[in-house]
Each structure stands twice: as structure tokens, then as C-alpha cells.
Amino acid sequence: MFKFLTFVFYAVIAKVLKVPLSGSEDVSTDGRYMCLLHDPPNQCGEFCLSALMPLIDHIARHQEQWITCNVKSNETEAKLGKIEAQLTAVKMKSEEQLQALLTKIESQQSAVMETLLQMNRKIMFLRFDRVGSRLFYIEHNLGQNWTSALNSCNGMGGHLASFKSEEEFKDISAKLNMDTSYRLGINDFAEKGLFISVSSGKTAPFLKWKPGEPKYNHIDQHCVTMHYGGMWVDSCSSNIHLICEADDN
């Protein structure tokens, strides 16, 4: 097997070089030559060596190329590493920028929401008048009992009113009809004589009784109304006009 391979090897070299070797027979197949050696090691000698030189050179060149290739491959690998690091940096930066953008959008969104809320509040309290630092709504037409009045004010986004000070009370009084009673958000349901504001759930901050009040003529009298510059404790079921406040205190 080895001998055969050796033979083929020399034969191929001879064919490549297109030189007939001494002592060989040329066999032509389809016009191509094939050199046959009977004793290649002896027949070949120096000639073969010189014939092999191009092949050896060729291999050497390839070896150089391979080393160059290896160096290049290492360079490429280094470059790839660098690119990867750059990509990571870019990715991190993009993520940071995206996060910053999201934060900005979120803050803008909450600013818009705040504006919308304010606008909504303004629209909601369009029927309210500013009295001092607060908004009040005075109903001049419809009379309502306690429950109904409470629901109406809540429906407008407010509460049945109570006053914080004498000043507020006077400012409101100036806007009322002299001969009409107005329902306030103050009652003594829980304990007779203890007047609670429905907007705060606490003791009413300001009361201004008419002379002799609070005076209980009926069992139903738990609700405070105001009339002509003073307050009295009145029936909760009677239908009278209401005053709402926009604030929840």
C-alpha cells in the first residue's frame, strides 16, 4: 500500500512538472501523460528533491500564511472583543437615556394630570362663588331636607357648609335673602347640644346663635339653619335652601 502511494506521489509530481523521468515509460491517457517509475528512490534522487522544492516552498509559504492568519485571527478576536465592549457601553447608555426619557415623560404626565384635575375642579365648582379664601354655593330656588341637601352638595363635589370664622359668616350673610332660611352642614344627631360639622366630622368651628337658641320645640330639631344674621336649631325634614362649601374642612 505504502509503495503504491509512493509511486503515485512521484507520478503526480512528474505530471505536474511535465518532465518525463529517466527510465520511465510514458503512458498516454486521453493525451495526458503519466510517468511510471520502476524504482522511485533510486531513479529520483537529487532531481526529485529539486522537483519537490517548489512543493516544500509552497508548504512553507502556507505555514507563514497560517501564522499570519492566526495573528490576524487573534487581531480579529481582539477587535471583536472591543466591539462587544463598545456595544455593551452603547446598550448601557441607551438604557440610561431611555430611563431618563421615561422619567421625564412620567413627570410630564403627572403635570398634565395635575392640570386636568385643576381644570376639572374649576369646571366642577363653576357654580360656586369665592367668599374669602373658600368657595361656596348658595341655592336660592330649591328647598331640600337634610338628607337630600347633603346628597346635593356631595354631588357637586362639596359638602353642606359650616363657617370657619365670623368674617366668613358675615360675607355669606350679605349674599342671602333676608326672609329665607338656609340649611348648613351642622347637626347634633349624636348628642343633643353638641354641634358637629359634616365636612370635618368635628365640632363646628363657628356658631352664631339667634337670641334664645338653640331652642328645641320639636323632637326632630337637630339641624342648624341660618336666617337673617343668626343661626337656630331647626327641623331636619323641612325643605329649605342649602349652602355648600367646596373645601373638605
Ligand X SMILES: *[C@@H]1O[C@H](CO)[C@@H](O)[C@H](O)[C@H]1NC(C)=O
- Residues 24 and 37 sit within 8 Å (Cβ to Cβ): yes
Stretch that binds ligand X, among 10-18, 31-39, 143-151, 160-168 (CB under 6 A): 143-151
Q: Does 145 bind ligand X (CB under 6 A)?
A: yes
Q: Which residue has the cell 359668616?
A: 169
108, 110, 118, 147: which one binds ligand X (CB under 6 A): 147
Answer yes or no whether residue 63 interacts with ligand X by CB under 6 A: no
- Which cell numbers in the block locate residue 10? 512521484
Backbone phi, then psi, for 248, in 5-degree steps?
Answer: -100, 35
Output the smallest distance, CB 150 to ligand X, in A.
10
181 near ligand X, judged by CB under 6 A = no
| Shortest spacing between CB 65 and ligand X, in angstroms | 12
In the chain, count H helices and then E strands.
4, 10
> By CB under 6 A, is residue 74 in contact with ligand X?
yes
Nearer CB in complex with ligand X: 24/221: 221
Does the protein bind ligand X through residue 65 (CB under 6 A)?
no
Cα separation, 169 vs 166, in Å, equals 5
CB 233 within 8 A of CB 224: yes
Among 55, 59, 71, 89, binds ligand X (CB under 6 A): 71
Bridge partners, 27 (sequence order): 34
Which residues partner with 88 through β-bridges? none
Q: How far is the CB of 46 from ligand X (least distance, A)?
A: 36
User: Alpha helix (H) ranges present in the chain?
Assistant: 2-17, 40-124, 146-155, 166-173
Report residue 157 as a C-alpha cell. 363635589
Applying CB under 6 A, the span of 18-26, 39-47, 70-78, 91-99 interacting with ligand X comes to 70-78
- Reading the block at residue 56, the C-alpha cell is 516544500
Q: Is 118 in the site for ligand X (CB under 6 A)?
A: no
Stretch that binds ligand X, among 68-76, 157-165, 190-198, 219-227 (CB under 6 A): 68-76
Residue 237 interacts with ligand X (CB under 6 A)? yes
Crossing angle (nearest 10°) for helices 2-17 and 40-124? 80
Q: Which residues pair with 206 in a beta bridge?
A: 163
Closer of 70 and 88 to ligand X (Cβ): 70
Q: How far is CA 15 from CA 30, 32, 97, in A?
A: 14, 9, 69
Of 66 and 228, CB closest to ligand X: 66
Q: Could you say whether residue 70 binds ligand X (CB under 6 A)? A: yes
Task: Pick the binder of ligand X from 6, 148, 181, 200 (CB under 6 A).
Answer: 148
Closer residue to ligand X in complex, CB, 14/186? 186
- Site for ligand X, rule CB under 6 A: 70-71, 74, 145, 147-148, 237
